[in-house]
Structure 1
Amino acid sequence: MKFTSIFLAAILAATSLSAIAHGGRTDKQGCHYDKKAGSRHCH
């Protein structure tokens, strides 16, 4: 049981890293132009 809890916590921690915000100003709709991707996206 303890191993399962630790394993699940590790998985959740690893997958939450992709949710880290990136820098960049947003317009009044909450969007901005992503120069790398060459597209506009919203948050």
Structure 2
Amino acid sequence: MKIITLVLAAIIAVTSVSAIAHGGRTDKQGCHNDKKAGTRHCH
């Protein structure tokens, strides 16, 4: 039972990354303009 719980926790931890940060200039709120999409997004 402990092994299953540990494996499940490891899978959740690895797959729970929802955003990957990338380089680029950001403002004081951590946001920047996406010139290709014409939108603004934050990290």
TM range (shorter): 0.5 to 0.7
Higher relative contact order (CA 8 A, sep 6+): 2
TM-score norm. by structure 1 comes to: 0.57
Give aligned pairs, total.
42
Structure 2: gaps spanning 5 or more residues: none
Name the % identity.
Answer: 64
TM-score norm. by structure 2 comes to: 0.57
Which structure's residues are more often helix, by fraction? Answer: 1
